[in-house]
Amino acid sequence: MRFAIGAFAFLAAALISGGAGAQQRVAVAQPQKPAEQTWPQEAELKGDYPRGAIVINVSERRLYYSLGDGRALVYRVAVGKTGFGWTGQSWVSQKTKNPAWYPTARMQAEGAPSYVPPGPHNPLGVRALYLGWSEYRIHGTNAPHTIGSASSSGCFRMLNADVTDLFDRVAIGAPVYVVQ
């Protein structure tokens, strides 16, 4: 400890003196940015949902993974843009690592390609959880700046690290509740 204090004092003196004839320089501690919030976080889950269920609160732009007893892990998501949002109940029908993307006919008519292979240009990101019989998914993204917005065509986008975490937790057949 005495060595560490002595070394610090020596370094501080060297910085201040700067050597013979040099201008004085003073090291000023820079304020630390607060640590960024990490996800998922544990939170209270309002409502009676079974353990392992997914609850997406569209107005909050949050996805909850139920731990049971009113507790959940919460993640940030992007939701459907105006005219594409929805509420209701579904289930996880399939889980895919590094999914390929086959845009719908509507999306293709709007200029999307007919197929995007897995990789950095794929808008589904690194994982996809398919919902019921629909074209909707909970998936990663290649556009992380959209998380927290209403910008999708009805799917729920997550950061790739978050969807990977959720993917490893959720079971096929898990109920999915999309609420306002």
Active-site annotation holds for 145: no
Displacement of CA 87 from its chain's centroid (Å): 21
pLDDT of 36 over the 90 cut: no
pLDDT of 16 over the 50 cut: no
Separation CA 56–CA 156 (nearest Å):
9
Q: What is the pLDDT of residue 37?
A: 54
Report pLDDT digits (tens) over 43-71. 999 999 999 999 999 999 999 999 999 99
Which residue of the set 53, 54, 79, 155 is catalytic? 155
- 51 is written with which tokens? 């353990």
pTM of the predicted structure, to 2 decimals: 0.79
Q: Which residues face 130 on adjacent strands?
A: 94, 137
Which residue of the set 76, 95, 137, 139 is catalytic? 139
Q: Are 64 and 166 in contact (CB under 8 A)?
A: no
CB atoms inside a 10 Å sphere around CB 46 = 12
13-17, 127-131, 145-149 — which is least confidently predicted? 13-17
3-state secondary structure of 149: coil
pLDDT of 15 over the 50 cut: no
Active-site annotation holds for 127: no
Q: What is the pLDDT of residue 156?
A: 98
